[in-house]
């Protein structure tokens, strides 16, 4: 790996301070491919796809749109029946992904110093629709079931993850569209740097429903044949320094992370993507030629996918091998970034290499949000 020289920079590109590396020590995934990194890795390795039919009571109400859904999911099968009656599907995904991640995380960390950073778009769209419908259809509006109201709050999933696992560190929910995953890791770095927690459960969660599918369908923002997906990915994260000091194994390190906002009205998005990629690489202290593969996040997004890939090529001097999880698990929107990272970890685990690989993870949304993240396999230098 080529380490960039530190120095004063140039007039065109001033030197950027190095980022504090974050260590991913374990991961948990719930996707259309199944539960766990092994299931996801198996589907990616075979070139297959996850479950591709709608599920649930509203399965017949979906528009003619491809989906990647989590088949046969029942929260009580994974955490027991107690306390699950009023939890929605989205929260269930998050709880199981977090449980899987925490179960394989290094032991000994204090729960009061463990926090949560979760990304989502609106929380559970289905829960919002159900509660709104009840207020109109019940004989009296106030006869809605109050125990279902918490599911309509954006930070419900993050709160439940903390409650079920006794985590009392910082608890954060972020919504930044397609770039939510990049924002989650960037925020995690800030929380750890400020001492608000010693480790974090970082991830994203989304669920499918007929109303959400219709929203995608009528928006015209998806290219023909692009499936939408659901699920959750969660990672136990701390600083690389702390992980090494505690003797923890490191699955991967998050090096530079850059996020920004560049709406179409500001001009060529590809140029903005390239700039974010360059900044992320600069903060990581590595050269463009060190990137062994890329995981783009806007696959299937009309008017965005091409700009993202062109921006990557501008920054790297070409497009390295692409590892895309969208075909397997669907376009997961605000949890796409977490799924991209999970896909890389799963693929790397199933295909060992002679030396650590370095991946670029990117995201570009129609709303103008942009993100770039540099992920290094294992804990090597």
What's this model's pTM, rounded to 2 decimal places? 0.92
Where does residue 225 rank: exposed (0-12), middle (13-18), buried (19+ CB within 10 A)?
exposed
pLDDT of residue 40: 97
The neighbouring-strand residues paired with 116 are 171, 201
- What is the structure's pLDDT at 4? 38
Topology of the domain comprising 22-245? Peroxisomal Thiolase; Chain A, domain 1 (3.40.47)
Q: Do domains 22-245 and 254-377 have the same CATH topology?
A: yes
Say which DSSP state 108 is in: T
Nearest to 22 by CA among 375, 381, 380, 353: 375
336-350 helix and 36-46 helix, angle to the nearest 10 degrees: 80
pLDDT score of 116: 98
Distance CA 9, CA 135 (A): 60
pLDDT of residue 6: 37
CA 114 → CA 33, 46, 188, 232, 378, distances in Å? 29, 36, 11, 19, 22
Residues 6+ apart with CB under 8 A from 339: 29, 31, 181, 204, 229, 231, 233, 325, 329, 332
Strand (E) or helix (H) holding 21: none
Tallying the residues shown for the chain, one arrives at 381
Task: Tell me the CB-side half-sphere exposure of residue 299, using CA atoms within 13 A.
Answer: 25
Strand partners, 304: none
The structural domains of the chain, with segments of one domain joined by +, span 22-245, 254-377
Q: Measure the CA–CA gap between 331 and 322, rounded to whole angstroms.
A: 16
- CA torsion angle 188 232 277 269 (round to 10): -120
DSSP assignment letter at 3: B
Write the burial class of residue 377 (CB in 10 Å: 0-12 exposed, 13-18 middle, 19+ buried): buried
Token representation of residue 374: 């540099």
Q: How many CB atoms lie within 10 A of CB 218?
A: 9
Whose tokens are 């003797």? That residue is 247
Q: Which pLDDT tens digits describe the chain residue by residue (381 residues)?
A: 333 333 334 455 566 788 899 999 999 999 999 999 999 999 999 999 999 999 998 999 999 999 999 999 999 999 999 989 889 999 999 999 999 999 999 988 899 999 999 999 888 888 777 777 777 777 776 677 777 777 778 899 999 999 999 999 999 999 999 999 999 999 999 999 999 999 999 999 999 999 999 999 999 999 999 999 999 999 999 999 999 998 889 999 999 999 999 988 888 999 999 999 999 999 999 999 999 999 999 999 999 999 999 999 999 999 999 999 999 999 999 999 999 999 999 999 999 999 999 999 999 999 999 999 999 999 654
The residue to which tokens 């600083």 are assigned: 239
Could you give the CA distance from residue 42 to residue 349 in angstroms, rounded to a whole number?
A: 10
Environment class of residue 248 by beta-carbon count within 10 Å: exposed (0-12), middle (13-18) or buried (19+)? buried
**3-class SS at 343?**
helix
Q: Helix, strand, or coil here: 208?
A: coil
Contacts of the segment 349-358: beta carbons below 8 A, 24+ positions apart:
349/37, 349/38, 349/41, 349/251, 350/38, 350/41, 350/42, 350/44, 350/45, 351/45, 353/377, 355/380, 356/1, 356/380, 357/292, 357/293, 358/1, 358/286, 358/290, 358/291, 358/292
**Fold type of domain 254-377:** Peroxisomal Thiolase; Chain A, domain 1 (3.40.47)
Q: Which two tokens stand for residue 256?
A: 């530079």
Give the CB-side neighbour count of residue 210, counting CA atoms within 13 A.
11
Going by C-alpha positions, the residue among 75, 91, 93, 87 that lies closest to residue 157 is 91
Contact 70, 55 (CB under 8 A): yes
What is the rounded distance in angstroms from the CA atom of residue 333 to the CA atom of residue 178?
5
Q: What is the CA radius of gyration of the chain?
A: 20
């Amino acid at each position: 790996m080529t380490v960039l020289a530190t120095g004063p920079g140039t007039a065109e590109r001033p030197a950027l301070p190095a980022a504090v590396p974050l260590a991913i020590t374990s991961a948990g995934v719930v996707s259309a491919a199944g539960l766990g990194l092994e299931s996801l890795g198996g589907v990616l390795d075979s070139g297959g796809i996850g479950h591709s039919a709608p599920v649930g009571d509203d399965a017949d109400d979906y528009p003619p749109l491809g989906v990647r859904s989590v088949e046969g999911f029942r929260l009580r099968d994974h955490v027991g029946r107690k306390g699950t009656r009023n939890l929605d599907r989205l929260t269930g995904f998050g709880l199981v992904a977090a449980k899987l991640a925490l179960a394989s995380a290094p032991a000994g960390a204090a729960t009061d110093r463990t926090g949560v950073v979760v990304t989502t778009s609106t929380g559970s769209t289905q829960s919002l629709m159900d509660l709104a419908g009840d207020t109109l259809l019940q004989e009296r509006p106030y006869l809605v079931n109050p125990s279902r109201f918490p599911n309509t709050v954006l930070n419900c999933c993050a709160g439940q993850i903390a409650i079920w696992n006794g985590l009392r560190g910082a608890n954060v929910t972020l919504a930044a569209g397609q770039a939510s995953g990049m924002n989650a890791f960037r925020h995690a770095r800030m929380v750890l740097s400020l001492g608000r927690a010693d480790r974090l459960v970082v991830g994203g969660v989304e669920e499918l429903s007929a109303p959400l599918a219709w929203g995608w369908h009528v928006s015209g923002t998806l290219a023909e044949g692009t499936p939408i997906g659901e699920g959750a990915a969660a990672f136990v994260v701390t600083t690389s320094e702390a992980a090494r000091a505690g003797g923890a194994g490191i699955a991967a390190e998050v090096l530079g992370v850059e996020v920004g906002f560049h709406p179409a009205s500001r001009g060529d998005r590809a140029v903005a993507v390239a700039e974010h990629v360059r900044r992320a690489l600069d903060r990581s202290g590595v050269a463009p030629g060190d990137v062994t593969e890329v995981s783009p996040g806007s696959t299937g997004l009309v008017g965005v996918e091409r700009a993202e890939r062109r921006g990557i090529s501008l920054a790297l001097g070409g497009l390295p091998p692409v590892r895309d999880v969208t075909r397997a698990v669907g376009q997961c929107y605000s949890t796409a970034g977490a799924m991209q990272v999970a896909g890389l970890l799963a693929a790397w685990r199933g295909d060992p290499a002679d030396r650590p690989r370095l991946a670029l993870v990117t995201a570009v949304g129609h709303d103008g949000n942009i993100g770039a993240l540099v992920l290094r396999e294992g804990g090597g230098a």
